[in-house]
Amino acid sequence: MAGIYIHIPFCKKACHYCNFHFSTSNRLQQDFVAALLQEIELRKTYITEPVSTIYFGGGTPSILPSIDIKRILTKIAEECKVDEGIEITLEANPDDITKEKLQEWRECGINRLSIGIQSFFEEDLAWMNRAHNAHQAAHCIQLAHNAGFYNLTIDLIYGTPTLSDENWKKNVDTAIALNIPHLSCYALTVEPKTALDKLIQQNKLANVDNEKQARHFELLMTWMKDAGYEHYEISNFAKPGFRSKHNSSYWQGKPYLGLGPSAHSFNGYSRQWNIANNALYIQSISKSEVPAEEEILTKEQRLNEYIMTSLRTMEGISLYKVLEDFGEDKYRTILKTASSHLQHNHLTLENDHLITTAEGKLLADGIAADLFIL
């Protein structure tokens, strides 16, 4: 099982909180598509397993013409071995979703949509500088259902200064009522050098409230459990059978190929990442050179990555896997370090797996750092 991630580095406008690589100019869009098709050919041997998931991320993939999406998927099918039941996800913004586009995406082979709703309230969307409005947020879901897209996920952001506890509940209730089988919910993070960071520093926008974010997360866990969703990863909730296969492969340490500027790749023992510059990416690929840096991971780094990713999932850290793959010393060290977290009820030990409790999920990054092998 292997995956392909495709980074589409174009957006209509810049969301205040975003720190991903993107451009609001589409001047190089067609040159980018040509380079991407060439990169697929250049890197087709990076992963040897059949491709079981493809994910169009960004940026905003939904602004890409459907004919280009089809060209990309056709090229992958020509150059790589692709599973029959492949999951193909397209990230889309509500303002890009139309009846015509949905039909085109289905004809291209897209069978899962990840929609950047963020909120169903106008004041939240304006505060984030989103391109869509509250009406489009709800209407696009109905359009997707009408077009036969039922494998949907949406993003919601909590903990913003404009979002009250009451409206946070309404956001979640709306998603559940719209029969959305998968939700990705994120606490707003103020990333350095983003527009949001600058606006907060200039006192033009209020800063985030960490206590409010923690409260919203705790409420979210309760509401989603009551609604029958699996909390299968810290930020992700799914009805049975609707987990993201692509993202799950990241957390399980499966190999994946990243295509496009800023995209990351992983083959089990090393990581690569492409240059985060559209013009330089296009220029390098035109010379049949992949503009990527590489890091060979040590055994300790691979173990720490396993700790970090698996601790975020409902299955947790398999101590048997640690023992088998990394040795008895590492197994004993982790178990010893975990003892204080077990005593404080931040972790539980179930069938040889260390799993975060509801309270522990609030502290997962710190717990993982504590368990790291230095």
- Whether residue 353 is found in the same domain as residue 206: no
Provide, rounded to the nearest whole percent, the portion of the chain with pLDDT above 70. 100
Tell me, yes or no, whether 134 lies in a domain: yes
Tell me, yes or no, whether 278 lies in a domain: no
- Whether residue 169 is found in the same domain as residue 303: no
Mean pLDDT of the chain: 96
The residue among 184, 217, 251 that closes a domain is: 251
Q: How confident is the model at residue 51 (pLDDT cuts 50, 70, 90)?
A: very high
Provide the pLDDT for residue 17.
Answer: 87
Cite the DSSP H helix spans in the chain: 29-42, 66-79, 99-108, 122-128, 134-146, 165-177, 195-201, 210-226, 245-251, 278-286, 299-310, 319-326, 328-343, 358-361, 364-371
- Whether residue 236 is found in the same domain as residue 338: no
DSSP letter at 63? G
DSSP letter at 10? B
Q: What is the CATH number of the domain that holds 344?
A: 1.10.10
Tell me, yes or no, whether 124 lies in a domain: yes
- Whether residue 148 is found in the same domain as residue 214: yes
Provide the pLDDT for residue 19.
Answer: 85
- The average pLDDT across 223-244 equals 98
pTM: 0.95
Q: How many CA atoms lie within 13 A of 237 on its CB side?
A: 23
Query: What's the Rg (C-alpha) of the chain?
Result: 21
* Cα gap 234→175, rounded to integer Å: 18
Provide the pLDDT for residue 326.
Answer: 96
- Whether residue 239 is found in the same domain as residue 304: no
Q: How many CA atoms lie within 13 A of 75 on its CB side?
A: 21
pLDDT > 90? residue 184:
yes
Tell me, yes or no, whether 305 lies in a domain: yes
The alpha carbon dihedral of 71, 77, 78, 79 has a sign of positive
Q: How confident is the model at residue 265 (pLDDT cuts 50, 70, 90)?
A: very high
Our count of domains for the chain comes to 2
Provide the pLDDT for residue 373.
Answer: 92
The residue among 212, 228, 251 that closes a domain is: 251
- Whether residue 234 is found in the same domain as residue 304: no
Strand partners, 156: 118, 185
Cβ contact 80:51 at 8 Å: yes
Between 295 and 20, name the one with better pLDDT. Answer: 295
In angstroms, what CA-CA distances link 322 with 257, 301, 313, 345?
Answer: 25, 13, 16, 22
pLDDT > 90? residue 14:
no
pLDDT in tens, 92-121: 999 999 999 999 999 999 999 999 999 999
- Whether residue 327 is found in the same domain as residue 235: no
Provide the pLDDT for residue 16.
Answer: 85
Tell me, yes or no, whether 275 lies in a domain: no
Residue 369 CB partners (closer than 8 Å, separation 6+): none
- Whether residue 49 is found in the same domain as residue 157: yes
- Whether residue 147 is found in the same domain as residue 211: yes
Residue 198 CB partners (closer than 8 Å, separation 6+): none
* Residue range of the domain that includes 133: 2-251
pLDDT > 90? residue 205:
no
Residue 345 CB partners (closer than 8 Å, separation 6+): 357, 359, 360
Provide the pLDDT for residue 190.
Answer: 87
pLDDT > 90? residue 79:
yes
- Whether residue 219 is found in the same domain as residue 91: yes
- Whether residue 134 is found in the same domain as residue 7: yes
In angstroms, what CA-CA distances link 168 with 4, 114, 148, 230, 327?
Answer: 34, 20, 28, 19, 45
Tell me, yes or no, whether 284 lies in a domain: no
The residue among 182, 216, 251 that closes a domain is: 251
Q: How confident is the model at residue 134 (pLDDT cuts 50, 70, 90)?
A: very high
Q: How open is the CA angle 188-194-196, to the nearest 5 degrees?
A: 55
- Whether residue 154 is found in the same domain as residue 72: yes
pLDDT > 90? residue 1:
no
Q: How confident is the model at residue 193 (pLDDT cuts 50, 70, 90)?
A: confident
pLDDT > 90? residue 145:
yes
Buried b (16+ CB within 10 A) or exposed e, 199-218: bbeeeebeebeeebbeebbe
Q: How open is the CA angle 131-134-107, to the nearest 5 degrees?
A: 70
In angstroms, what CA-CA distances link 89 with 64, 109, 168?
Answer: 14, 9, 26
pLDDT > 90? residue 232:
yes
Tell me, yes or no, whether 319 lies in a domain: yes
Of the listed ranges 17-21, 86-90, 149-153, the one predicted with least confidence:
17-21
In angstroms, what CA-CA distances link 108 with 19, 65, 132?
Answer: 29, 11, 25
Provide, rounded to the nearest whole percent, the portion of the chain with pLDDT above 90. 91
- The average pLDDT across 354-366 equals 96
Residue 80 CB partners (closer than 8 Å, separation 6+): 4, 40, 44, 47, 50, 51
- The average pLDDT across 141-169 equals 97
Q: What is the CATH number of the domain that holds 226?
A: 3.20.20.70
Tell me, yes or no, whether 258 lies in a domain: no
Query: Any idea how long the chain is?
Result: 374
| Burial of 310 (C-beta count, 10 Å sphere; 0-12/13-18/19+) | buried
